[in-house]
Amino acid sequence: MNFIASSTALLKHLQSISGVLSTSNSLPILDNFLFEIHDSQLTISASDLETTMRTTMELIEANEAGKLAIPAKLLLDVLKNLPDQPCTFICDMKNYSVEIKYDNGKSKMVGQNGDEFPRVPAIENSNSVKISGDILSNAINKTIFATGSDDLRPVMSGVFCQFSPQDITFVATDAHKLVRYRRTDSEATGSSSFILPKKPLNLLKSNLKGEEEVLVEYNESNAVFTFNDIVLICRLIDGKYPNYEAVIPKENPNVLVIDRTQFLSSIRRVSIFANKTTHQIKLKLAGSELSLSAEDVDFSNEANERLTCNYDGDDMEIGFNSRFLMEMLNNLDTAEVKLEMSESNRAGLLMPAVKDNENEDILMLVMPVMLNR
């Protein structure tokens, strides 16, 4: 099996799927890329058993079909250090050795039998939906930061995707914060839902360009994303997602509207003086004034700031974890944000004050922290 490929084109394709490679593989063959040649087309796969990515590229020349597993790290390191040029790969299928010839030299490595590479599960009885790459990458960016990392509650470590004929919804929560991202300009045939793990979401995020259409096929246990020249297959998280609608408070009479960047900068400065374990800051609302304060009693550090805002509701004091607020404000992009609250021991809802996009609905919930009186 011999073939010729452009070094930069090959490197680009390998890098797009190399994020799947894990440093602690249970099977040594997973430290390799699987190369498969068919009709002068090269399909490269990488897998960690849970997630598999495949990409396809045209070869300059190929003499016969075949498959071989090639050491991933060695191959990436060689290609990264080569200028753009055609590389000739000479593969010996008897002892699985690979010789790469380029302008001023050659290198040799030993791969493994391609037939031993784990097979990708076939997706049977699947449903499918088409989503624009722009919407999907937006949904991932807006939700992934709110996922949990508790091994005891695996369902919370992923993003919950809900498809219906009216809209598509993405939800992430770690029990302290929650984000619900909904789009009404995308719909699916029929209603269904599943939980996507964090790793494939990050891989999608780094490979989506924005203008493509993504075909999503899924069944009870797996999901497949097909876009550009990439196919990503991942195992879904098994389990029942918590009823997130039940935790979103419906009556929130106290509403604060404030400039997002000013609010974020103020929290950043004040939180420097917050307790290092609770990261607690206090918001005191009265009339058209918001006071932010934080103190670390152990070190006698404290900070106070006042901001003018638009507040409608009763005077109140409420405590929040400053890190959660900053993460949320960083992931909103409107000029002004709205914080809706009911009482100092009930969750606050953060959302854009004015929608930039009629079809996009984003809601972020943050749990308060008890104020030490």
**Inside any domain, residue 59:** yes
Q: What is the dihedral of CA 302, 303, 309, 314, to 10 degrees?
A: 10
Hunting for tokens 């598509």 — which residue is that? 168
Same domain as 316, residue 256: yes
Q: Which of 245, 270, 288 is the endpoint of a domain?
A: 245
Tell me 175's DSSP state: S
Q: Which of 116, 142, 158 is the endpoint of a domain?
A: 116
Question: Is 318 in contact with 282 (CB distance < 8 Å)?
Answer: yes
50-82 pLDDT, tens digit each: 999 999 999 999 888 899 999 999 999 999 999
Q: Distance (Å, rounded) from C-alpha 185 to C-alpha 178?
A: 22
**Inside any domain, residue 8:** yes
**Inside any domain, residue 224:** yes
Kindly tell me the burial class for residue 234, based on how many C-beta atoms sit within 10 Å of its own C-beta (0-12, 13-18, 19 or more): buried
257-309 pLDDT, tens digit each: 999 999 999 999 999 999 999 999 999 999 899 999 999 988 889 999 999 99
pLDDT score for 120: 87
Q: Distance (Å, rounded) from C-alpha 346 to C-alpha 325?
A: 15
Q: Distance (Å, rounded) from C-alpha 170 to C-alpha 149?
A: 18
Same domain as 145, residue 166: yes
Q: Percentage of the chain surpassing pLDDT 90?
A: 84
206 by DSSP, 3-state: which? helix
**Inside any domain, residue 200:** yes
Same domain as 363, residue 252: yes
pLDDT score for 338: 96
Same domain as 262, residue 194: no
pLDDT score for 39: 87
Same domain as 163, residue 93: no
Same domain as 221, residue 207: yes
Same domain as 267, residue 344: yes
Which tokens hold the place of 208? 């989506």
pLDDT score for 125: 85
Q: Determine the average pLDDT of the residues in 17-38.
A: 93
84 by DSSP, 3-state: which? coil
List Cβ<8 Å contacts ≥24 apart for 298-303: 301/273, 302/273, 303/269, 303/270, 303/272, 303/273
**Inside any domain, residue 122:** no
Q: Which of 82, 116, 150 is the endpoint of a domain?
A: 116
Which residue, among 66, 11, 8, has the nearest Cα to 41 in the 3D structure? 66
- Total domain count, the chain: 3
Q: Distance (Å, rounded) from C-alpha 283 to C-alpha 304?
A: 10
Residues 6+ apart with CB under 8 A from 229: 13, 55, 56, 57
Kindly tell me the burial class for residue 150, based on how many C-beta atoms sit within 10 Å of its own C-beta (0-12, 13-18, 19 or more): exposed
Same domain as 295, residue 184: no
DSSP string, 329-350: HHT--SSEEEEEES-TTS-EEE
109-148 pLDDT, tens digit each: 999 999 999 998 888 888 888 999 999 999 999 999 999 9
Same domain as 137, residue 40: no
Which tokens hold the place of 205? 């995020």
Same domain as 252, residue 240: no
**Inside any domain, residue 121:** no
Range of the domain at 304: 248-369
Q: What is the CATH number of the domain that holds 345?
A: 3.10.150.10
**Inside any domain, residue 169:** yes
φ/ψ of residue 350, rounded to 5: -110, 135
Q: Whole-prediction pTM value?
A: 0.90
DSSP string, 251-282: ---EEEEEEHHHHHHHHHHHHTTS-TTT-EEE
**Inside any domain, residue 343:** yes
φ/ψ of residue 21, rounded to 5: -60, 135
Tell me 240's DSSP state: P
Hunting for tokens 């055609």 — which residue is that? 86
For residue 373, name the pLDDT band (cuts at 50, 70, 90). low
Region of 311 (left: φ > 0; alpha: ψ -120 to 50; beta: rest) is beta
Same domain as 263, residue 225: no
Same domain as 188, residue 146: yes
Which residue, among 319, 249, 237, has the nearest Cα to 283 in the 3D structure? 319
